[in-house]
A and B are shown apart, each in its own frame.
Chain A
């Protein structure tokens, strides 16, 4: 049933990683991604792989869930690999027709692909271990300081919250409308692309009308519950920086220090 679709790819759990402050998790993920671009050599990559490996272990998220995220960009990884492998000059290893594989090319291709894989796994870990609601909350708080320069942090977060709330509702609605139009003989499967696009009108119009109705009713319900923007609002869950957050922050700093040291030493 369409209502069972979960948004994002959150993997429910109670691990140490799950419980970390979402703000910290977002920052750590950003640091990790940036640090990947500092890594040049084997030692550096080993440290990054080890760090990711340990985090996955602690998070208790099954490996297949993590690898699922890679499936979507599998072709990009292959492409990156191939491009680097064939396009880098240097000591020739093999020559197949007009394609040459060099030692440097293979080396670079491997690390470029690895960087991409680590990047995806790193960000997947964030979404896998953080509820969308918490993520929204974290983003709102991180953006809060930028309010002064006119960034509508609260409004952005409210929009994300409402989107999260209503995506399942709208999916269900789409399913219903589609079935109802099928019962009226509508055909969504055959015909040219142009014809198929035109056939979507009986779904899209009612869906938009639904969305407008939801917006109108929801706005009224929010007003009735004294909503008046972010000013003076409190929160049910105030985010608190706990000991484990401090530990994670220290570990991240150590990781970053290691990466920098390795980079400088490796020259």
Chain B
């Protein structure tokens, strides 16, 4: 069953007077409930605009977006249903935390939903435990590292009990340690049954998804499992994107006449193949 249904989505924004830029150009995507989808593209490819359309932060100019059966462009009441079901984590860990204490911040979403006090308390505990930040619940966000702040932001979304979370370049501003922390949490949430949509330009992160969608100039360029998508290494490079190191090496070795299976996309797989 698909949880997100995007049909013929068009989204335009104004650059100057009379200068409309089509950020998303007639895109249709269905995302399976419980799946892990990575959306990749360089800056300006429309990937972030797409993410904001899923969360009803942006409303399509034409076409429709359904989240769990709710139309994002419907009435006000439907809008809150959409936002509750499809949570969103943003790039800058600092600018999405509202409260001066970690637990108050995590409570912000449930408070907005009108959840009773005792139930909020339970949700906050649950959400902070899920991201391994429970012991920091009384701390001020500005005392935390980037990765920790981002985990708190994730907890804030988890506390709303969404079915789906859209991560909009959540690791772009983090150091490698923070990046690993956030990736681990993301995979864990996926294992717990949450549908994950990850917007990123880190190929190594995308290799762990079930499905990769590559966007370019508002259109879908490639769509498939990582193994399928990375077979088109040349096309990906032509879009000014990189491919995972194992794919790159496999590709180069093949060009030298070596036999390397095309479905090797991770370093572990390459090592296993080479050292078998």
Interface residues of A (CB under 8 A from B): 3, 7, 131-133, 161-162, 164-165, 168-169, 172, 213-214, 217-218, 220-228, 232-238
Which of A133, A226, A233, A235 is within 8 Å of B101, CB to CB? A133
Instruction: Tell me the nearest residue of chain A to B159, going by C-beta.
Output: A225
9 extra A-B contacts, CB within 8 A, seeds A214-B95, A225-B157, A236-B120? A3-B143, A165-B99, A169-B142, A217-B95, A228-B80, A233-B111, A234-B110, A234-B117, A236-B117
Report the minimum CB–CB distance from B2 to chain A (whole Å).
21
In the assembled complex, which residues on chain B have CB atoms less than 8 Å from the CB atom of A172? 142
Q: Decide if B100 touches A133 in the complex (CB within 8 Å).
A: yes
- B135-168 interface code vs A (CB 8 A; 1 in, 0 out): 0000011110000000001001100100000000
For chain B, give the interface size range: 35 or more
Q: Taking chain B's interface residues, is the majority helix, strand, or loop, or is none over half, making it mixed? A: helix
Tell whether B272 is near chain A: CB-to-CB under 8 Å. no
In the assembled complex, which residues on chain B have CB atoms less than 8 Å from the CB atom of A169? 94, 142
Q: Decide if B111 touches A218 in the complex (CB within 8 Å).
A: no
Instruction: Tell me the nearest residue of chain A to B92, going by C-beta.
Output: A217
In the assembled complex, which residues on chain A have CB atoms less than 8 Å from the CB atom of B110? 234, 236
Report the minimum CB–CB distance from A216 to chain B (whole Å).
8
Q: Decide if B107 touches A224 in the complex (CB within 8 Å).
A: no
Tell whether B217 is near chain A: CB-to-CB under 8 Å. no
Which of A164, A213, A225 is within 8 Å of B112, CB to CB? A225
A135 vs B96: C-alpha distance when bound (angstroms): 23
A221 vs B90: C-alpha distance when bound (angstroms): 7
Q: Decide if B99 touches A133 in the complex (CB within 8 Å).
A: yes
Report the minimum CB–CB distance from B100 to chain A (whole Å).
4
Q: Decide if B96 touches A232 in the complex (CB within 8 Å).
A: no
Q: Decide if B57 touches A223 in the complex (CB within 8 Å).
A: yes
In the assembled complex, which residues on chain A have CB atoms less than 8 Å from the CB atom of B83? 223-226
A165 vs B112: C-alpha distance when bound (angstroms): 18
Known: A227-B108, A228-B112, A233-B112. A218 touches B98 (CB 8 A): yes
A237 vs B94: C-alpha distance when bound (angstroms): 24
Q: Decide if A236 touches B143 in the complex (CB within 8 Å).
A: no
Q: Decide if A238 touches B117 in the complex (CB within 8 Å).
A: yes
Instruction: Tell me the nearest residue of chain B to A137, going by C-beta.
Output: B104
Q: Decide if B90 touches A220 in the complex (CB within 8 Å).
A: yes
Q: Decide if A236 touches B140 in the complex (CB within 8 Å).
A: no
Report the minimum CB–CB distance from A189 to chain B (whole Å).
27
Q: Decide if A161 touches B120 in the complex (CB within 8 Å).
A: no
- B102-115 interface code vs A (CB 8 A; 1 in, 0 out): 01100111111111
Instruction: Tell me the nearest residue of chain B to A226, going by C-beta.
Output: B112
Q: Decide if B120 touches A234 in the complex (CB within 8 Å).
A: yes
A7 vs B142: C-alpha distance when bound (angstroms): 12
22 A-B pairs within 8 Å (CB atoms) are namely: A7-B100, A133-B99, A161-B98, A161-B99, A162-B98, A164-B100, A165-B97, A165-B99, A217-B95, A221-B98, A224-B83, A224-B88, A225-B83, A225-B87, A225-B98, A226-B80, A226-B160, A236-B107, A236-B111, A236-B117, A236-B120, A237-B117
Report the minimum CB–CB distance from B160 to chain A (whole Å).
7
Instruction: Tell me the nearest residue of chain A to B142, going by C-beta.
Output: A168
Known: A233-B114, A236-B111. A225 touches B160 (CB 8 A): yes
Tell whether B205 is near chain A: CB-to-CB under 8 Å. no
Tell whether B25 is near chain A: CB-to-CB under 8 Å. no
Known: A168-B142, A220-B57, A236-B120. A226 touches B98 (CB 8 A): no
Instruction: Tell me the nearest residue of chain A to B141, going by C-beta.
Output: A165
A214 vs B104: C-alpha distance when bound (angstroms): 19
Q: Decide if B112 touches A168 in the complex (CB within 8 Å).
A: no
A131 vs B99: C-alpha distance when bound (angstroms): 13
A56 vs B153: C-alpha distance when bound (angstroms): 38
A2 vs B94: C-alpha distance when bound (angstroms): 16
In the assembled complex, which residues on chain B have CB atoms less than 8 Å from the CB atom of A214? 94-95
Tell whether B126 is near chain A: CB-to-CB under 8 Å. no
Which of A165, A224, A227, A234 is within 8 Å of B87, CB to CB? A224
Tell whether B207 is near chain A: CB-to-CB under 8 Å. no
Report the minimum CB–CB distance from B60 to chain A (whole Å).
17
In the assembled complex, which residues on chain A have CB atoms less than 8 Å from the CB atom of B71? none
Tell whether B84 is near chain A: CB-to-CB under 8 Å. yes
A162 vs B107: C-alpha distance when bound (angstroms): 15
A165 vs B108: C-alpha distance when bound (angstroms): 13
A93 vs B5: C-alpha distance when bound (angstroms): 91
In the assembled complex, which residues on chain A have CB atoms less than 8 Å from the CB atom of B114? 232-234
In the assembled complex, which residues on chain B have CB atoms less than 8 Å from the CB atom of A226? 80, 83-84, 109, 112-113, 160
Tell whether B264 is near chain A: CB-to-CB under 8 Å. no
Which of A164, A223, A227, A236 is within 8 Å of B103, CB to CB? A236
A165 vs B143: C-alpha distance when bound (angstroms): 11
Q: Decide if B160 touches A217 in the complex (CB within 8 Å).
A: no
Q: Decide if B124 touches A236 in the complex (CB within 8 Å).
A: yes
In the assembled complex, which residues on chain A have CB atoms less than 8 Å from the CB atom of B143? 3
Q: Decide if A234 touches B108 in the complex (CB within 8 Å).
A: no
